[in-house]
Amino acid sequence: MMSAKDPTPSIDPFSLELDLEQGLLPEPENRIVRRASDMRGYYADEAALERLIAEAGDPIHYEVFEVPVPEEAGQLMYCISTLRPGRVGDECFMTKGHYHTVAETAEIYLCLRGEGYMLMKTSAGRCAWERMARGRMVYVPPCWAHRSANTSDGEPLVSFCVYPAHAGHNYGDIQCEGFPRRILKRGGEVVFAGSASPGPAVTS
Ligand code: S6P
Ligand code: ZN
């Protein structure tokens, strides 16, 4: 553990080569997998999700690949997040979304592949979204919950994410509140629909 008195870092410098075309992290130590069945309660069309689980063999929704660093203040965690394309009803495949447990921690997403949006909200009811596409970076400020959605018709949405290693993930609040908007695709167009899930009204 680093401290001001003992600045000895707990890991040594290192480097690695990312496959920026495919969006691959070499030799990840952790692979977090979220399947359709892990997403119960998140989509508006619950019946469509159940059909997807039953008829498509509970497909993978998204994966997170990590080579973890110590979860201590001062370190930067990094990972690759890969969100598959697809719809539940007309709602685009999305991540669960979370606040950071240490709310005052920001995050950077650098999109490597695909297209989509980063949907963000504060507990005070502000809502925002930013477009994700190869080469675009999204800055998620402290205290903003964040969820990504894949709006493409066949390509994964792949991002390289960096955030303070002690940030932690708070999923419970989003499970209760949802987001004020849902990202749909109708007739080939992306639609930001008001959400029927409980939660604060959109104020911006
Ligand atoms: C971590 C960062 C991402 C997400 C990933 C999956 O702080 O924001 O790595 O973990 O995109 O999303 P979620 O909401 O299921 O953690
Ligand atoms: Zn995060």
Q: Which ligand is nearest to the CA of 159?
A: 1
**Cα(97)–Cα(119) distance, integer angstroms:** 9
C-beta of 95 in contact with ligand 1 (< 6 A): yes
Per-residue pLDDT tens over the stretch 65-86: 999 899 999 999 999 999 999 9
Residue nearest to atom 5 of ligand 1 (CA): 81
Burial (CB < 10 A; 0-12, 13-18, 19+), residue 118, is: buried
Domain coordinates in residue numbering, the chain? 30-194
Residue 83 CA: nearest ligand 1 atom is: 11
Measured in angstroms, how far is the CA atom of residue 81 from the centroid of ligand 1? 7
Task: Please give the model's pTM, rounded to 2 decimal places.
Answer: 0.92
Q: 27: phi > 0 → left, psi -120 to 50 → alpha, else beta; which?
A: left
Task: Starting from the CA of residue 165, give the closest ligand.
Answer: 1
Q: Which residue has the tokens 């950071």?
A: 100
One DSSP character per residue, 77-93 reads: EEEEEEE---EETTEEP
Fold designation for 30-194: Jelly Rolls (2.60.120)
The pLDDT assigned to 6 comes to: 63
77 near 168, Cβ under 8 Å?
no
Name the stretches of the chain with pLDDT < 50: 198-204
Other Cβ atoms within 10 Å of 22 Cβ, number: 12
Residues 6+ apart with CB under 8 A from 78: 66, 67, 69, 160, 161, 162
Evaluate: CB of 63 within 6 angstroms of ligand 1: no
